[in-house]
Amino acid sequence: MSRIRLPYIDHFKDRHGTTRYYFRRPGGKRTPLPGYPGSDEFMRAYAAAEANEPPPETSKERGQPGTFDRLLGLYFASVDYKRLKAPTQRAYRLAMEKLVRDEKIGHRTVSGLKREHIKTMMADRVDRPAAANGVLKKLRILIKFAIDLGWRQDDPTIAMRKLKEGEHHTWTDEEIAVFEAKWPNGTLQGTAFALLLFTGQRLSDVVRMSWRDVDGAGTVIQVTQEKTGTKLWIPLHPDLTGALAAWPKTHFALVTTAYGEPFTAKGFGNKMADAIAAAGLPDRCVTHGIRKAAARRLAEAGCTTHQVASITGHKSLAEIERYTREVNQRTTAGAAILKIASRKRKEDEQGGS
């Protein structure tokens, strides 16, 4: 966060460890300035004080000074938060609110958070590594913001390690065939599955796809990923072309509810979970694993890491590189065994001659 230098500003730390700002000309009276430097409420109050006008009315601030409740209120109003993509904002708000509520720390001071407190929070979720790591990630964001506000000088999350997480299962070709047999072309579930598998996109992107995104020739679909904002132009796989040809163009969105409305990401996820269960597939088969299967298939077809990413839109290539390494290992191992078998046959033939 960049520093803002304004004349006649002074500050001090109260007993809660919170930095308080006020406006004061030499010999004049102190005028409290709410919020933090650069925030809308701070700048409005500063402008009024500089013009010798009454301070603007401010809405009641959340929580007591220096507490996690107050910190959340300030963070959700900050530039740091507002510059995030809308889905990330929603995810962060839900996760942070839940963390503060579950840990009952809304009334606790941010300056009082210790490393051992964070370790305890993570230990309570050791059976859910992703949840434990989510706690660490969100606290790091909030602590960094608190340091920017001057609420504390140290970061107790530094050098704390994440727990090792399990990975979503990558669908096998056999599992894909089972789903496609249950839900053929012409069904909502089959159309949705084809979009997921042959574009390699997330649930949140598939629900936003429309017929308008398919070019006039029916050869390319345009996608703007909600999570990253990445724009992709994905050639239609022949199987996806067939699935779309069998699907009626009765609505603007490619996949809709029974009422003709676009799905929410959550609603679409539930619909796919029901379809997967109805196909008799094991619990390990979840919708995100279809995206992983798309990346696996591309790697098995001989695509490079960057070629795979040009379809899936991955920013981090680590997972894709793992797929390509595994495919290369299988190919190399297969060639090695063939060489051994060929040599054995030659030796047998020579011995029998």
Each residue's pLDDT tens digit, 168-183: 888 999 999 999 999 9
In 108-264, where do the E strands start and end? Answer: 220-224, 231-235
Cα(234)–Cα(256) distance, rounded to whole angstroms?
21
pLDDT surpassing 50 at residue 49: yes
Q: Please report the pLDDT score of residue 257 as a whole number.
A: 92
Pick the CATH number of 173-327 from 1.10.10.10, 1.10.443.10, 2.60.120.560, 3.50.50.100: 1.10.443.10
Cα(201)–Cα(141) distance, rounded to whole angstroms?
28
Q: Please report the pLDDT score of residue 3 as a whole number.
A: 56
The pTM for the full model equals 0.61
**For the chain, what is the total number of helices (H) and then of strands (E)?**
14, 5
| Residues forming a β-bridge with 232 | 223
Q: Vertex 171, ends 163 and 272: CA angle to 5°?
A: 95
Cα(239)–Cα(232) distance, rounded to whole angstroms?
19
Q: Please report the pLDDT score of residue 58 as a whole number.
A: 58
Q: Is 163 exposed, middle or buried (0-12, 13-18, 19+ CB in 10 A)?
A: middle
Q: What is the CA radius of gyration of the chain?
A: 28
Q: Is 149 exposed, middle or buried (0-12, 13-18, 19+ CB in 10 A)?
A: buried
pLDDT surpassing 50 at residue 1: no
- Comparing CA positions, the residue from 202, 203, 225 lying closest to residue 213 is 225
Q: Please report the pLDDT score of residue 245 as a whole number.
A: 95
Asked if 108 contacts 67 with a C-beta cutoff of 8 angstroms, the reply is yes
Least confident segment among 123-127, 141-145, 149-153, 313-317: 313-317
Q: Please report the pLDDT score of residue 59 as a whole number.
A: 55
Residues making up the chain, counted from first to last: 353
